[in-house]
């Protein structure tokens, strides 16, 4: 029975293959695999039940089906030596390709170069702010390296995943170590957690919002559903009080009376204070209906984040209230119909001949 294995290549690139031998290969063993028009060398990253699970959940997996390509054999010492030599050739190829990019005047940055193990293909990864026409560059590189050239445009987060590094937490990048999929992160995630919108505090090495901002976001969303919305006026035993702040970790609600006196209650005390009025869950629902979630205005965001956030900046409310094509009133519709009728009659008079007074007569 064939074994399903996950093989890792240069730049944290991973693919699934079938190991068509009775005994499974050891973990982290170097293997030669079958790839498009040749062979490549990689290392066993996962096998067995873990490989089956990752095959169905990772973006590079095959889902419920099995991969078509196979891992051919274990790599020999000579194969490993050839792979080590390619590390030097990869950097040399990237520098030469960058020279050709500057010669062609293209607005792109070559991030990485990867030779296939049999040197039948050279893959170049680049980032660019917009689409780049690199057809002439491909021809130049093909004549320079005498091999098959493949150019792949990637995003800045994928670039950080390929190049790897250490984040501000002191640990390896999540995208390069364990994160199976790079999901988008927007400013609403940071705002829900009451984080600073300063880009130096919530941005990663790639310049985008950190992936780890999503890890606890669901906890904040679920916890706040038990509390009233901040700014909501509720009826308590002391009269009308305004919800000033909430503490989801200690389950506290801070209220302020009309006279300006503030007090802090636990969530259980707040629920009993409200009495027969709407509970905290109902209050939160009503608050969201009467005061919908505010869009993130551009003046609340640091200028740097306007270009690093992976979500569109919403327009102002005044622009949303003005319809693009307002419906015409009954009076205006009647006037327009009358003008159209007069125009048609005038056109017929003009064809039959008219004088200055508008009377018709023989030609």
Give the CA radius of gyration of the chain: 33
Angle of helix 280-290 versus helix 267-274 axis, rounded to 10: 80
Query: Across the chain, how many H-helices and E-strands are there?
Result: 13, 12
User: Would you state the structure tokens that stand for residue 184, as one six-digit string?
Assistant: 């988008």
What is the predicted pLDDT for the residue at 284? 42
Q: What is the pTM of this model?
A: 0.67
Cβ–Cβ under 8 Å, residues 14 and 7: yes
Candidates 31, 17, 45; CA nearest to 79 is 31
Distances (CA, A) of 267 to 3, 264, 281: 54, 10, 11
Residues with Cβ within 8 Å of 299's Cβ and at least 6 positions away in sequence, in order, are none
What is the predicted pLDDT for the residue at 333? 54
What is the predicted pLDDT for the residue at 56? 80
Q: What is the block-wise mean pLDDT of the chain (363 residues), using blocks of 10 residues?
A: 90 92 93 92 92 79 80 94 92 95 93 94 94 91 94 93 92 89 89 89 92 93 91 90 93 93 92 63 43 46 42 37 45 55 49 44 41
What is the predicted pLDDT for the residue at 341? 53
Please report the domains of the chain, with CATH numbers, ordered by start residue: 3-75 (no CATH), 81-158 (3.30.300.20), 230-290 (2.30.30)
What is the predicted pLDDT for the residue at 42? 95
State how far the Cα of 252 lies from the Cα of 243, in Å rounded to an integer.
11
What is the predicted pLDDT for the residue at 72? 94
CA angle 252, 258, 261 (to 5 degrees): 55
Point out which residues pair with 127 in neighbouring strands. 109
Query: Where do runs of H (alpha helix) occur along the chain?
Result: 49-57, 77-104, 135-145, 156-163, 174-177, 187-192, 199-202, 217-224, 267-274, 280-290, 305-308, 317-321, 330-352
């Amino acid at each position: 029975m064939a074994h399903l294995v996950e093989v890792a290549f240069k730049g944290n690139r991973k693919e699934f293959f079938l190991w068509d031998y009775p005994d499974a290969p050891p973990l982290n063993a170097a293997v030669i695999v079958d790839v498009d028009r040749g062979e490549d060398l990689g290392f066993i990253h996962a096998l067995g039940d873990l490989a089956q699970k990752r095959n169905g959940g990772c973006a590079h997996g095959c889902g419920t089906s099995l991969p078509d390509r196979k891992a051919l054999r274990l790599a020999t010492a000579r194969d490993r030596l050839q792979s080590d030599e390619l590390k030097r050739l990869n950097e040399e190829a990237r520098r030469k390709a960058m020279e050709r990019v500057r010669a062609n005047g293209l607005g792109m940055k070559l991030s990485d170069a990867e030779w296939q193990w049999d040197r039948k293909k050279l893959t170049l990864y680049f980032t660019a702010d917009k689409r780049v026409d690199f057809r002439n560059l491909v021809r130049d590189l093909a004549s320079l390296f005498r091999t098959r050239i493949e150019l792949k445009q990637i995003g800045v987060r994928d670039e950080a995943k390929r190049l790897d590094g250490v984040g501000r937490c002191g640990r390896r990048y999540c995208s390069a170590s364990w994160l199976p999929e790079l999901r988008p992160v927007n400013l609403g995630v940071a705002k829900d957690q009451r984080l600073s919108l300063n880009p130096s505090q919530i941005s990663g090495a790639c310049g985008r919002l950190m992936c780890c901002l999503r890890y606890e976001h669901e906890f904040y969303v679920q916890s706040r559903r038990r509390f009233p919305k901040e700014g909501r006026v509720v009826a308590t035993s002391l009269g009308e009080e305004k919800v000033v702040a909430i503490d989801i970790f200690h389950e506290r609600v801070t209220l302020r009376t009309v006279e300006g006196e503030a007090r802090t209650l636990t969530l259980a005390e707040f629920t009993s204070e409200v009495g027969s009025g709407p509970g905290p869950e109902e209050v939160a629902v009503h608050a969201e209906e009467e005061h919908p979630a505010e869009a993130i205005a551009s003046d609340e965001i640091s200028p740097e984040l306007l270009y690093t956030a992976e979500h569109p900046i919403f327009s102002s409310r005044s622009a949303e209230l003005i319809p693009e094509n307002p419906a015409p009133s009954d009076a205006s519709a009647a006037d327009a119909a009358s003008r159209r009728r007069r125009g048609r009659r005038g056109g017929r008079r003009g064809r039959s001949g008219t004088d200055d007074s508008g009377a018709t007569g023989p030609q």
